[in-house]
Amino acid sequence: MSPKFVRGGARPPGRPADVIAVRPYELHGTRYYAVLLRYDDAPEEPREARVSADMVYADPAPGDRVLVEAVLGVVDRIVRAEAV
Instruction: List, for residues 45-76, the tens digit of each pLDDT value.
Output: 999 999 999 999 999 999 999 999 998 889 99
CATH top class, domain 15-83: mainly beta
Q: Supply the pTM of this predicted model.
A: 0.82
% of the chain surpassing 70 pLDDT: 87
- Contacts of 60 by beta carbon, 8 Å cutoff, 6+ apart: 19, 22, 33, 35, 66, 78
Paired sense of beta strands 15-27 and 74-80, if any: unpaired
Provide the sign of the torsion angle of the four alpha carbons 73, 45, 41, 57, taken in this order.
negative
pLDDT reported for residue 1: 47
Phi, psi of 83 (to 5 degrees): -80, -10
Environment class of 43 (CB within 10 Å of its CB; exposed 0-12, middle 13-18, buried 19+): exposed
